[in-house]
């Protein structure tokens, strides 16, 4: 999985879908609507290195944050939507209108500013995450854990040692400024990071 995901054509959710936001709706409905919206927005996008549907990554991140106690439906919904602004034609305004300010603010906080690349993008994400609240940090831990575990599942011919090492170094920095917000998830990241580092070391020895 390369650091810079290629943006594939993605559909904006159909204009005919009714306005979904309502303060009275249940937590279950909020999350279900976010998952449906994400599926429509990301369309047939796939992860560059694995070829998996992009929805697999979103589902993994959503499942991880859903395991955090106490359960937080806003965080769960934002996990499904966390890449919509960055990777599809969906705008912040659309997210805000359909899902409200709490969800939209989370999505915006985990979205990299357009145009940032390479070291500048990585450093900005570390610095910004460090200044954010608990929900953003929990979401970033889940995202980095999912991405790290994706490397672990790559076919041998697709495993790029240099790319994996660069990503892992960055992921550790983001998780380190987020620690203390999701202990069990942090432990999962640490286990996966240790395994990935072992894979990198093994390839370096070849």
For 111-167, the pLDDT digits (tens) are: 999 999 999 999 999 999 999 999 999 999 999 999 999 999 998 888 999 999 999
- Give the pTM: 0.86
- Looking at residue 166, what is its pLDDT? 96
Assigned token pair, 52: 């998996």
Q: Of 171, 140, 124, 16, which is closest to residue 78 (Cα–Cα)?
A: 140
Query: Can you tell me the distance from the alpha carbon of 25 to that of 156, in angstroms, rounded to the nearest whole number?
Result: 46
Enter the tokens of residue 110.
């985990």
Q: Please list the residues that pair with 46 across neighbouring strands.
A: 53
Rg from Cα positions in the chain: 17
Where do runs of H (alpha helix) occur along the chain? 27-42, 54-66, 73-81, 84-87, 92-109, 118-131, 134-152, 161-176, 183-205
pLDDT of residue 25: 57
pLDDT computed for residue 3 by the predictor = 43
Cα→Cα distances 35→39, 73, 113, 114, Å: 6, 12, 24, 24
Ranges of the chain with pLDDT below 70: 1-25, 205-206
**What DSSP character marks residue 91?**
-
Ordered domains of the chain (ranges, CATH): 27-205 (1.10.3210.10)
Residue-level pLDDT at 50: 80
- Print the SS3 string covering 34-86: HHHHHHHHHCCCECCCCCCEHHHHHHHHHHHHHCCCCCCHHHHHHHHHCCHHH
Note whether 203 and 161 are within 8 A (CB). yes
Looking at the DSSP assignment, which residues form a beta bridge with residue 53? Answer: 46
Q: Evaluate whether 148 touches 168 at the Cβ level (below 8 Å).
A: yes
**Alpha-carbon separation of residue 152 from 55, 112, 143 (angstroms):** 18, 25, 15
DSSP 8-state symbol, 181: S
Give the Cα separation of 69 and 184 in Å (integer).
Answer: 10
pLDDT of res. 22: 52
């Amino acid at each position: 999985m390369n650091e810079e995901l290629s943006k594939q054509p993605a559909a904006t959710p159909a204009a005919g879908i009714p306005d979904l936001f309502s303060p009275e709706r249940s937590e279950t409905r909020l999350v279900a609507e976010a998952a449906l919206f994400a599926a429509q927005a990301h369309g047939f996008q796939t992860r560059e290195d694995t070829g998996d549907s992009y929805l697999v990554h979103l589902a993994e991140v959503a499942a991880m944050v859903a395991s955090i106690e106490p359960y937080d439906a806003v965080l769960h919904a934002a996990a499904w939507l966390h890449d919509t602004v960055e990777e599809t034609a969906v705008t912040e305004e659309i997210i805000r209108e359909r899902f409200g300010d709490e969800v939209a603010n989370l999505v915006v906080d985990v979205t990299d500013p357009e145009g940032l690349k390479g070291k500048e993008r990585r450093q900005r994400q570390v610095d910004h995450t460090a200044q954010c609240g608990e929900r953003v940090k929990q979401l970033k831990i889940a995202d980095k854990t999912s991405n790290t575990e994706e490397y672990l599942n790559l076919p041998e011919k697709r495993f790029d040692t240099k790319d994996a090492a660069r990503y892992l170094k960055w992921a550790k920095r983001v998780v380190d400024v987020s620690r203390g917000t999701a202990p069990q998830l942090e432990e999962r990241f640490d286990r996966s990071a240790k395994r990935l580092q072992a894979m990198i070391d093994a390839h370096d020895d070849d």
